[in-house]
Amino acid sequence: MVTDSFTGQRHVMCRACHAHCGLIVDFEDGIPVATHGNKDNPEFEGYSCIKGRRLADYHSLDSRLLTSYKGMADGNRQAIHWRDAAGEIAERLQKIIDEHGPDAVASYVGTFGYNNVNAHAFQLALMEAIGSTSVYDSVTIDQPGKGIARALVGPWLAGAPRVGDWDGLMLIGTNPVVSMNGGLGMNPAKKLHDAKKRGMQLIVVDPRVTDSAQQADIHLQCRPGEDPVILGAIAKIVIEENLYDQEFVTKDVDGLATLKKSVAPFEPALAAERADVAAEDIVRAARMYGSWKKASISGGTGTNMSGGGNITEYLNLALTSIMGHWLREGDLNRRTGVFTKPAPAVAASPGPIPAWGFGRKLHSRDLEQSISGMPTSALPDEILTPGDKQVRALVVLGGNPMLAWPDQLKTFEAMKALDLLVCIDPRMSKTAELADYVIAPKLHYEVYGNTAAPEIYGGFGAGWGFENNYAQASPPIMNSPEGSDLCEEFEFIHAVATDLDKTLNIKSWALLAHPDEREEKATAIPPGETPDVLDAWTASLNGCPANIKEVYADEEAHKGKIVDAQALLVQPKPDDWEGKLSVGNAAMMEELSSYAQRLGQPVEATEFPMRMIGRRMTEMHNSNWHEDPVQRKRVPHHPAFMHPDDLEALELEDGQSIEVESARAFISCVARSDKTVRPGCVSIPHSWGTNPDEKEDALGAGGNTGRLTDSSGIYDKRTGIPLMSSIPIRVRAKHAALEAAE
């Protein structure tokens, strides 16, 4: 821990996003004065971004909460000690449970809750303790197709080849160089640079000439929402020209004949016409992909939020499987685990597992729990619709529903209708402004952290998480501000459980690949004294290969290190093994057929001729800390990026305030000229803006793209995700009188 007189450096793990890069913080007289990447870090090699380099400064921003508050919902905000708040919240929760049942209490875990593995484990345990199945998270409004596809194809136990071994990569609606969100592993810009230098080929399917697309051998700058059409055509060519691995398919893949029949309609010329790309480019891409021996396909939010996320992710894994782009018998799997226990390294698949049909059904809409979780986009309906399971209380951990959820107008109505809204948040977010309680937690450098989360994300597929047994364990390097009243999230959650007289059964994130062990090795934490932080972490990661306390005692682990472990030799499939990968799932082929019906059909002309597509930026987070002066200087307004030809056609100027309107609502942004955006598209960062009852300022917080979304309009019947990108819109200049009034 840093003292008031300390001058020097401290190593720390970044917690700005899921990547958890290795950083160094420079201190002078106990004050952090600079943050930079650690060039000696074996995984990140000095990489850092502006968001990570500003983390220390977030600790001293005026907007940071130094105590908890209550009464925002009724306009009577007053400070309250977090322990007193826990008691009041427990009393109100118990009353709701007694009157309406446990499912009337819901929880939502956002991105920052997901990255806080310890707090997430405690939150899930609290919901289980009170008997509630109303458990929601950000997965079903982010990339739910990944979970659906992995279940229906089936996992490959040995895993995938490493990025450094690939001879090709296809990116679909994702830009990992900026998002750090899978596809190229950690330090993606360097990974891509090194891979291209050694000859790896790159195909990108994206309406924008993204940072990744700028280095592509083939870029299909398609009409948004048509990814399944392009992939269907690529699969058709790969199969009909026998470019796939026939021996691997014979041994380990079911459903090829069904897949071949389903992709037969996707003639390249028809697919090209629908997606508005060149047919010869689709053919070139298919043949290039078919030539790769070790490769990967990665999809992102672009495709998942544009409709068709399930079938796109399924086709990604189907192509991966028929090409045999998996680790084989005799290969080395270097991910033996530090904070997680991987599946056994066997060159086999247990086969598909159910992706839906096993969980809780909603009372408000014809939706149910899937392998990707409860359908978060429908949670406002669960709050607003009377019935036996109507949600009346919501606890939000590490999220900001008012800016992150689709259909902001309905979300706003739902938040106001709750009997109890609790937010655990270090700042007064737009959701917290509507809350009955906001609990102020300690910030990044005041708490223990480790790289368990990105290690867990490695299960998402190739190019996710770490490729080695990398670990970093960060003890606190800063004290909480003098006079503050802060807690760690798990402490607050345990305090609520104590006041409810509930034992928390903490299930280990380390054992996701071993569900039976996860149940058996759950740690019971009874009401009473709050556990020590390292005991809490040990419970949340029980059964992992590492000893948590020993890792934190290791000075080298504070800097980030490769943990010595013998690589696992992938074992052969046992003779009596029956499971195979599945590439012909009936439900997915039905979804694909709906795209086949589009072939040869013109794109329908409507009064909303353009398409809004989502965007992430290097310069700042989409959803928080926009008040940081350094980042705000880089992005002073909420930008709506448009091709120069579109600006000219609409008689708009770069930097002009505009209105972006969908059939649901309109928002205000600032037009920015960007020739990398496909004409006809408007690329807007999501999760900006204000609450609907506030005056919208294009030159300030801007607009919330969720307001353009209708959650009960076009949505996926499995996960509930509505169109959150590729939304039909029209654009106009902001009315001069309204702009002057702001």
Q: What is the pLDDT of residue 668?
A: 96
pLDDT (tens digit, 9 = 90+) per residue, 11-30?
Answer: 999 988 888 999 999 999 98
Q: What is the pLDDT of residue 568?
A: 80
Name the band, by pLDDT with cuts 50, 70 and 90, for residue 335: confident
Centroid of chain to Cα 311: 18
Q: What is the pLDDT of residue 16?
A: 86
How far apart are the C-alpha atoms of 283 and 285, rounded to whole Å?
Answer: 5
Q: Mean pLDDT check: name the lowest of 169-183, 341-355, 381-395.
A: 169-183
Q: Which of 639, 609, 643 is nearest to 622 (CA)?
A: 639
687: left (phi over 0), alpha (psi -120 to 50) or beta: left
Which of the pair, 573 or 625, is modelled with greater confidence? 573
How far apart are the C-alpha atoms of 616 and 536, rounded to whole Å?
Answer: 34
Centroid of chain to Cα 219: 24
Take residue 640 and report the two structure tokens written for it.
């709506």
Strands 681-685 and 639-642: antiparallel
Strand partners, 582: 254
The answer to whether 721 and 614 have CB atoms below 8 angstroms apart is no
Take residue 499 and report the two structure tokens written for it.
């006041």
pLDDT (tens digit, 9 = 90+) per residue, 370-403?
Answer: 999 999 999 999 999 999 999 999 999 999 999 9
Amino acid at 382: E
Which of the pair, 734 or 711, is modelled with greater confidence? 711
Q: What is the pLDDT of residue 186?
A: 85
Give yes or no for residue 714 having a pLDDT over 60.
yes
pLDDT (tens digit, 9 = 90+) per residue, 655-677?
Answer: 999 999 999 999 999 999 999 99
Q: Which of 53, 57, 59 is nearest to 22 (CA)?
A: 53
Q: What is the pLDDT of residue 734?
A: 86
How far apart are the C-alpha atoms of 742 and 659, rounded to whole Å?
Answer: 14
pLDDT (tens digit, 9 = 90+) per residue, 426-464?
Answer: 999 999 999 999 999 999 999 999 999 999 988 777 888
Mean pLDDT of 704-711: 96
Q: What is the pLDDT of residue 740?
A: 43
Q: Taking the model in full, what pTM does it have? A: 0.96
Mean pLDDT of the chain: 94
Name the band, by pLDDT with cuts 50, 70 and 90, for residue 1: low
Q: What is the pLDDT of residue 737?
A: 42
State the distance between the two ends of the chain, measured CA to CA, in whole angstroms: 46
pLDDT > 90 fraction of the chain, expressed in percent and rounded: 83
Pick the CATH number of 604-741 from 3.40.50.11540, 2.40.40.20, 3.20.20.105, 3.30.70.1060: 2.40.40.20
Q: Which of 690, 721, 724, 694 is nearest to 706 (CA)?
A: 724
Mean pLDDT of 307-328: 97
Residue with token string 């009188």? 737
Give yes or no for residue 339 having a pLDDT over 90.
yes
Q: Which of 740, 649, 651, 666 is nearest to 703 (CA)?
A: 666
Name the band, by pLDDT with cuts 50, 70 and 90, for residue 253: very high
- Give the DSSP H or E segment for 247: helix 246-252
User: 309-322 and 144-153 are packed helices; what angle lies between their axes, rounded to 10 degrees?
Assistant: 40
How far apart are the C-alpha atoms of 151 and 544, rounded to whole Å?
Answer: 24
Q: Mean pLDDT check: name the lowest of 110-114, 230-234, 255-259, 691-695.
A: 110-114
Centroid of chain to Cα 82: 29
Q: What is the pLDDT of residue 173?
A: 95
How far apart are the C-alpha atoms of 608 and 455, rounded to whole Å?
Answer: 43
Q: Mean pLDDT check: name the lowest of 465-469, 552-556, 670-674.
A: 465-469
Domain ranges of the chain: 604-741
Q: Looking at the chain, how many residues does it have?
A: 742
Mean pLDDT of 623-641: 87
Kindly write down the DSSP assignment for every residue of 414-457, as one continuous string: HHHH-SEEEEE-SB--TTGGG-SEEE-B--GGGS-EETHHHHHH
Q: Which of 44, 46, 34 is nearest to 7 (CA)?
A: 34
Give the contacts of 550 (CB within 8 A, at least 6 positions apart).
none
How far apart are the C-alpha atoms of 274 and 262, rounded to whole Å?
Answer: 17
Name the band, by pLDDT with cuts 50, 70 and 90, for residue 741: very low
How far apart are the C-alpha atoms of 267 and 271, rounded to whole Å?
Answer: 6
Using DSSP, state whether 584 is helix, strand or coil: coil
How far apart are the C-alpha atoms of 593 and 586, rounded to whole Å?
Answer: 10
